[in-house]
Amino acid sequence: MDGNGRWATARGKSRSEGHREGAQAIDRLMDASLELGLKNISLYAFSTENWKRPVTEIRSIFNLLVEFIDTRLDRIHSRGIRILHSGSRKRLTRGVLDKIDFAAETTRKNKKLTVNFCLNYGSRDELLRAAQEAFLRRKREKVPFEKPLKEKELEKFLYTSALPPVDLLIRTAGEQRLSNFLLWQSAYAELYFTDTLWPDFDKTALVHSLDWYGARTRKFGGLTNG
């Protein structure tokens, strides 16, 4: 969700105000996704590298997340949206963890749309953790370490184990990097880059990206579709 800062600066506003506008773009994205029948969205809200930002900005992002859940959870729940969290729980405050856990628990049976908040998320961190967990499981269950590790065995321990692989990865605000986001899950994702700043990313922009995606031929390493 890049471009909140630039959106704000261009209007003489603070970066926090840009993030607030970014949160509203999430509202619009959820509405549009329900209308269009999308099933899963993952949002990169805070990376393991974002701790390098000034503490005031970090605080404003987490405050916004808490406010987002406080003010939207009823509506989210009543519309059949399930909330998930992907990311490390280390360094997140009790208040943030309680809020996101409450949102996930409240909405866990919802089936219309899953919105996965990637918060304190980094793909390398996730993969290291998954490998560690997979080997600990082998130790517990006395599976020989020599037995080659299978993809499925590792995937069980990814934060996103409940989600399918990424089909379409959208990066806004002109950036063209993966920035440690869902690297395993995006192995065959189509990558869509747009100059639109995240706060301006609306239903029209989403439909545009989906039209682009629809015109792609997905080969998954083979020669024909599928």
The catalytic residue positions are 2, 50
The residue range among 22-30, 32-40, 145-153, 159-167 that interacts with ligand FPP, by the rule CB under 6 A, is 22-30
**Between residues 22 and 122, which has the closer beta carbon with respect to ligand FPP?**
22
Distances (CA, A) of 124 to 56, 87, 111: 26, 11, 29
The C-alpha atoms of residue 97 and residue 25 are separated, in whole angstroms, by 23
- Nearest approach, Cβ of residue 65 and ligand FPP (Å): 4
Applying the rule CB under 6 A, the residues between 145 and 184 that interact with ligand FPP are 173
Cross-strand partners of 86: 118
Asked if 6 interacts with ligand FPP (CB under 6 A), we say yes
Asked if 97 interacts with ligand FPP (CB under 6 A), we say no
Ramachandran assignment for 217, one of left (phi > 0), alpha (psi -120 to 50 degrees), beta (any other): beta
Size of the site for ligand FPP (CB under 6 A): 18
- Nearest approach, Cβ of residue 212 and ligand FPP (Å): 22
Asked if 33 interacts with ligand FPP (CB under 6 A), we say no
* End-to-end C-alpha distance for the chain, whole angstroms: 29
107 is in an annotated binding site: no
Asked if 125 interacts with ligand FPP (CB under 6 A), we say no
Distances (CA, A) of 61 to 31, 120, 125, 189, 221: 22, 11, 21, 28, 39
Q: DSSP strand E in 29-184: where?
A: 40-47, 81-86, 113-121, 168-171
The residue range among 63-71, 84-92, 94-102, 144-152 that interacts with ligand FPP, by the rule CB under 6 A, is 63-71
Asked if 66 interacts with ligand FPP (CB under 6 A), we say no
216 is in an annotated binding site: no
198 is in an annotated binding site: no
Contact 18, 61 (CB under 8 A): no
- Nearest approach, Cβ of residue 121 and ligand FPP (Å): 11
2 is in an annotated binding site: yes
Length of the chain: 226
Structure-token pair, residue 20: 């607030």
- The contacts of residue 114 (CB under 8 Å, 6+ apart) are 39, 40, 41, 81, 82, 83, 84, 162, 163
Binding letters toward ligand FPP, positions 34-53, x by CB under 6 A: -----------x----x---
Write the DSSP symbol of residue 181: S
- Nearest approach, Cβ of residue 47 and ligand FPP (Å): 7
73 is in an annotated binding site: no
Contact residues: ligand FPP, CB under 6 A: 1-6, 19, 22-23, 26, 45, 50, 61, 64-65, 68, 117, 173
